[in-house]
């Protein structure tokens, strides 16, 4: 089957066309500035050059049309016609408590996703616009919604409830949901596979360390805790997000800086994390490592605070599961940034991880970092959220 995987944001649309039998990407690309002046598309067929061009995209339907025209283009296309697309998999950010797995999209499902809009006001409506646009252009093609939150729906109440009046949970569903679920699921499964074991027999901690970052505790195949909460702001220090804070800071800062609460939250989302800690130097971990190595103290402190927080979460999740067998690093930083992995390694040696300095130099590939016979296997497992979405899509439409 050929599956089109769509990740639709408010002004962007990422896509991959995947051959599900061979699990190969046939083409991928990104539309940016949809509905804004200067909209452009970058399209890349497998094995070919990336072509970037400006093109008018007044709305998402126009963007989907353009994607189809690229996929079927004589020069840069990879299929002859639209009819070769067998199914579409949509990445959905928030499924609330309504979805504990992927589903085939119908009107009832769309309504249930809309019911979660309050929980992800920036993401869910944008994801749904992507669905509507694809439905308009590919009527009759089955579509599947794959949720970032679904994998974490197995968390027990003690992990997902905040210490707030219970009434707020009942009235507004304020609780921890967790995100990056597709990645935590994919990576924990793959880690077990690499080790030749059944995930149902393992206690795995997955560290998804990208621009956005989260840690999860996957016990015997189920997520029992994860660091992101009601929104992706909770937990680790990230590229630009603060992660855990004393909630009293919000009103304190609002008063001092003359901001509204939502303006403070905006600072917490966009100007904090390692960007904020490095005094605005960069949110990119490559830049920070380089700067730190050439004497930028602020960048060094940002990385130290980052690694310390990851280390603390690993410790917490080892406790949550009463043990840990495997720690898997994934996403941009987890897969590639040997320096940051080594810094995190400093905090988890007591678990019996024995990370080998030579093996830890590897970037972007599956590898076991621990010495043979280590009590806890530490490894790098590259994530592939698009492939996971394509697999889910095929599983449901077949």
Q: Which residues of the chain form contacts with ligand ADP (CB under 6 A)?
A: 210-212, 239, 284-286, 331-333, 336-337, 363
Instruction: Please check if 98 is assigned to a binding site.
Output: no
Residue nearer to ligand ADP on the CB measure, 361 or 375:
361
Catalytic residues, by residue number, are 148
Q: Identify the burial level of 38 via C-beta atoms within 10 angstroms of its C-beta, where 0-12 means exposed, 13-18 middle and 19 or more buried.
A: exposed
Dihedral angle at the C-alpha atoms of 176, 387, 100, 262, nearest 10 degrees? 30
* Closest residue by beta carbon to ligand ADP: 332
Residue nearer to ligand ADP on the CB measure, 72 or 211:
211
Distance CA 233, CA 225 (A): 16
Residue recorded with tokens 């280590």: 374
Instruction: Please check if 334 is assigned to a binding site.
Output: yes
Alpha helices in the chain (DSSP H): 60-71, 107-114, 124-137, 157-160, 166-172, 181-194, 248-257, 261-270, 273-277, 285-293, 297-320, 331-336, 338-345, 385-397
For residue 7, what are the β-bridge partners? 14
Distance CA 125, CA 127 (A): 5
Distance CA 60, CA 41 (A): 12
Residue nearer to ligand ADP on the CB measure, 7 or 98:
7
Residue nearer to ligand ADP on the CB measure, 102 or 337:
337
In the complex, the smallest distance separating the C-beta of residue 278 from ligand ADP, rounded to whole angstroms, is 12
- What the block records as the tokens of 243 is 């992660």
In the complex, the smallest distance separating the C-beta of residue 183 from ligand ADP, rounded to whole angstroms, is 9
In the complex, the smallest distance separating the C-beta of residue 262 from ligand ADP, rounded to whole angstroms, is 23
In the complex, the smallest distance separating the C-beta of residue 134 from ligand ADP, rounded to whole angstroms, is 22
Pairing relationship of beta strands 213-219 and 203-209 according to DSSP bridges? antiparallel
In the complex, the smallest distance separating the C-beta of residue 28 from ligand ADP, rounded to whole angstroms, is 14
Instruction: Please check if 158 is assigned to a binding site.
Output: no
Distance CA 305, CA 277 (A): 9
Q: What's the gap between Cα 373 and its chain centre? A: 31
Instruction: Please check if 246 is assigned to a binding site.
Output: no
Instruction: Please check if 173 is assigned to a binding site.
Output: no
Residue nearer to ligand ADP on the CB measure, 85 or 236:
236
- The answer to whether 116 and 124 are in contact (CB under 8 A) is yes
Number of CB atoms found within 10 A of residue 94's CB = 25
Instruction: Please check if 94 is assigned to a binding site.
Output: no
Any residues with CB less than 8 A from the CB of 357 and at least 6 apart, and which?
A: 342
Residue nearer to ligand ADP on the CB measure, 155 or 291:
291
Residue nearer to ligand ADP on the CB measure, 20 or 336:
336
Distance CA 41, CA 55 (A): 7
- The answer to whether 181 and 223 are in contact (CB under 8 A) is yes
Q: Identify the burial level of 189 via C-beta atoms within 10 angstroms of its C-beta, where 0-12 means exposed, 13-18 middle and 19 or more buried.
A: middle
Instruction: Please check if 77 is assigned to a binding site.
Output: no
Strand arrangement of the beta sheet that strand 377-380 belongs to? 222-226, 213-219, 203-209, 326-330, 377-380, 367-368
Instruction: Please check if 176 is assigned to a binding site.
Output: no
In the complex, the smallest distance separating the C-beta of residue 161 from ligand ADP, rounded to whole angstroms, is 27
In the complex, the smallest distance separating the C-beta of residue 300 from ligand ADP, rounded to whole angstroms, is 16
Instruction: Please check if 7 is assigned to a binding site.
Output: yes
Distance CA 174, CA 168 (A): 6
- The binding site comprises 7, 14, 91, 208-212, 284-286, 332-336, 385
- The binding site for ATP comprises 14, 208-212, 284-286, 332-336
């Amino acid at each position: 089957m050929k599956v089109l995987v769509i990740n639709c944001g408010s002004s962007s649309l990422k896509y991959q066309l995947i051959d599900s039998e061979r699990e190969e990407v046939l083409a991928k690309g990104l539309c940016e500035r949809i509905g804004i002046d200067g909209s452009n598309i970058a399209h890349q067929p497998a094995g070919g050059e990336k072509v970037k061009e400006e093109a008018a995209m007044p709305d998402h339907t126009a963007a989907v049309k353009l994607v189809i025209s690229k996929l079927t283009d004589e020069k840069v296309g990879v299929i002859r016609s639209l009819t070769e697309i067998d199914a579409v998999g949509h990445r959905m950010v928030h499924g609330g408590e309504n979805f504990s797995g992927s589903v085939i999209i119908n009107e009832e499902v769309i309504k249930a996703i809309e019911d979660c809009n309050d929980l992800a006001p920036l993401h869910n409506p944008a994801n749904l616009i992507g669905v509507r646009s694809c439905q308009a252009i590919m009527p009759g093609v089955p579509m599947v919604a794959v949720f970032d939150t679904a994998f974490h729906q197995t968390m027990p109440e003690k992990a997902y409830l905040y210490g707030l009046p219970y009434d707020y949970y009942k009235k507004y569903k304020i609780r921890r949901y967790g995100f990056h679920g597709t990645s935590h699921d994919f990576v924990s499964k793959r880690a077990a596979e690499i080790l030749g074991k059944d995930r149902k027999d393992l206690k795995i901690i997955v560290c998804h360390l990208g621009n956005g970052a989260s840690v999860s505790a996957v016990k015997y195949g189920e997520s029992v805790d994860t660091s992101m909460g009601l929104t992706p702001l909770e937990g680790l220090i990230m590229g630009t997000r603060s992660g855990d804070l004393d909630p009293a800071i919000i009103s304190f800062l609002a008063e001092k800086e003359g901001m509204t609460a939502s303006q403070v939250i905006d600072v917490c989302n966009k100007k904090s994390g390692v960007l904020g800690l490095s005094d605005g130097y960069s949110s990119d971990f490559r830049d920070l490592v380089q700067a730190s190595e050439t004497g930028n103290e602020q960048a060094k402190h940002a990385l130290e605070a980052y690694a310390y927080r990851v280390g603390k979460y690993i410790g917490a999740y080892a406790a949550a599961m009463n043990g840990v067998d495997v720690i898997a690093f994934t996403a941009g930083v987890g897969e590639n940034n040997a320096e940051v992995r080594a810094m995190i390694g400093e905090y988890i040696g007591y678990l019996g991880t024995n990370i080998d300095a030579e093996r830890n130099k590897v970037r972007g590939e599956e590898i076991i970092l621990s010495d043979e016979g280590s009590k806890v296997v530490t490894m790098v497992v590259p994530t592939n959220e698009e492939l996971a979405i394509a697999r889910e899509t095929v599983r449901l439409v077949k």
